[in-house]
Structure 1
């Protein structure tokens, strides 16, 4: 066991730990600001638990980094990246929706980190983190239901018998002159999931646009809002063509504050994380969908989001906001640049 604990970190473990630190340091900043303004006695404990998780993770990661002589990432801090004196920006209901959404993102991320880790102490850290974030998800769902906030996925009739696909036409859907088969339960699930995730992203983009002092960031966030609105309409229209009404996501709005609340570096990182997660959702939706028109839609929308993420990275690089992930040394450069 000691030999295993003393083994060097693999590239996957280094990448997972670095990503976890960056995400938790950002989350702590946003949640810390939310806590200052939330008054609802049901919602505040959920956000507090999310904040405590991020704080605990950062302390554990610092211990691991110091033990491994691993350079501590800069990440984000409440001192440099949050204006705690800024006016109220989010309703308590939006804060709850945000925590729920980020818990979903976290569960997927920690599952990946566990599968990529070999050293037992690193695996144990990520397994515990996954357990904590799952508990947070449970709390946020229960509180959302209590508040009447959590819009459920559409209902369909429970199947009474098993059936099999009897024609290749089941996978068709591109011909505008032929009748498309009805959506199946799996396709409905992912269409609606993408409605709800885009709804959170749309609100965040709007809040970041109205509080940023930089026009290039404002324009980027407005573009992100418009992309999310467009994608929501496509998914809702697809459902409505089968007379499946997507439950309305409650309006969990934001205030009209224009005071800068978070650093532009933090808001750009947050949107990069959400858009990358969104691309992952679209890729999964593509793999799970069996109607060709849905597959084509997801592929073209993924490309649109990828281009948007790239434009965001260009802004971050131009402003020296994009912290570089750990990597290997350029061996050719080392060999040719010797004094």
Structure 2
């Protein structure tokens, strides 16, 4: 009896397509990092991340070929200028990989949950394990160098209790005192400050390297949005006598020579936008004070509009690769009518 391989579902095709796009971008960025990184510990992290992206692209290409599905164009050597001078410090590289490994863990867990075929689930499960290993390796190096950006410390709780008033959910009335933040809310404020901190540096570096005025303005606008969001979240923490996290070690140089194509940088920002909107949605769902929920909803809308404007630029320059889609049945009928 001949065994037939079950065809990929739409979710599985979407997952491998998205993974290919992300890893082809990462390989370009990490390859550039490898050329300039100096610290031996950080170089080993960059090399590990680069090897993962390379292995993923090879495996995904094999899957596309076996299934006779066109592989994405993605990003190639033409999207990275290896001759460009150093744009990023070693500490930026480490923090960038640390941040992207978090996105990787979330992505791979989602891809795994959408898989039906065992080989696809196994691939994404392995990707999740690799992302976790990369995250832990980055964390250990950051800790060893005393540069791990920790969440705020607060006093340990001394008892357990239940919410006894609907006032616990309030926070919009300016004439009443807001209850203190709980630890769940603090953790989400912290992580959103942290992600926006690195977002400001990424956007600034992309603006420095671009020669297209519209892209420059877009990147600087993204930097300013991220800085404004940091201020919003930091203000909430300070109102609760909690110092907002800050790091002076996530740095870029003054170089204005582009290491990456505008197509790659615009795609990279769109990925960060998607991640940011997801973070805000999760934070809103986890927060119980109404003023925090309103902040997340309002700021998420601002990021969504910014993302939409970015897609307009991608389309305008023919940089936006179209994900696999379904056949338009109406168009098939119309085409048949014209042939009759």
Does the TM-score normalized on the shorter chain lie above 0.5? Answer: yes
- Distance in 2, Cα, partners of 1:235 & 1:211: 29
Aligned to 2:300: 302
Among residues 197, 203, 228, which one is paired with 1:230 in the alignment?
228
Aligned to 2:62: 63
* CA RMSD, Structure 1 to Structure 2 (Å): 0.9
Instruction: Classify the secondary structure of the residue corresponding to 1:43.
Output: helix
Instruction: Classify the secondary structure of the residue corresponding to 1:6.
Output: coil
- Distance in 1, Cα, partners of 2:134 & 2:317: 35
Aligned to 1:111: 109
> Would the aligned equivalents of 1:151 and 1:250 in 2 still touch at CA under 8 Å?
no
Aligned to 2:272: 274
- Quote the offset at 1:42 in angstroms: 1.2
Pairing of 1:285-324 with structure 2 (within 5 A)? 285-324=283-322
Task: Report the number of matched residues.
Answer: 336
Gaps of 5+ in 2: none
Instruction: Classify the secondary structure of the residue corresponding to 2:234.
Output: helix
- Distance in 1, Cα, partners of 2:103 & 2:248: 20
> Would the aligned equivalents of 2:87 and 2:205 in 1 still touch at CA under 8 Å?
yes
Aligned to 1:158: 156
Aligned to 1:131: 129
Residues 280-323 of structure 1, C-alpha deviation per residue, up to 9 Å, x if partnerless?
A: 00000000000000000000000000000000000000000000
Residues 110-155 of structure 1, C-alpha deviation per residue, up to 9 Å, x if partnerless?
A: 0000000000000000001111111000000000111222110001
- Quote the offset at 1:250 in angstroms: 3.0
> Would the aligned equivalents of 1:149 and 1:250 in 2 still touch at CA under 8 Å?
no
- Quote the offset at 1:261 in angstroms: 1.3
Among residues 201, 215, 218, which one is paired with 1:217 in the alignment?
215
List 4+ stretches of structure 1 deviating above 4 A.
none
- Distance in 2, Cα, partners of 1:145 & 1:89: 24
When normalised by structure 2's length, the TM-score is 0.98
When normalised by structure 1's length, the TM-score is 0.98
> Would the aligned equivalents of 2:198 and 2:250 in 1 still touch at CA under 8 Å?
no
Aligned to 2:71: 72
Gaps of 5+ in 1: none
Aligned to 2:7: 8
- Quote the offset at 1:211 in angstroms: 0.5
- Distance in 2, Cα, partners of 1:197 & 1:273: 13
> Would the aligned equivalents of 1:205 and 1:224 in 2 still touch at CA under 8 Å?
yes
- Quote the offset at 1:156 in angstroms: 1.1
Aligned to 1:31: 30
Residues 215-239 of structure 1, C-alpha deviation per residue, up to 9 Å, x if partnerless?
A: 0100000000000000000001100
> Would the aligned equivalents of 2:45 and 2:134 in 1 still touch at CA under 8 Å?
yes
- Distance in 2, Cα, partners of 1:148 & 1:318: 44
Aligned to 1:46: 45
Instruction: Classify the secondary structure of the residue corresponding to 1:8.
Output: coil
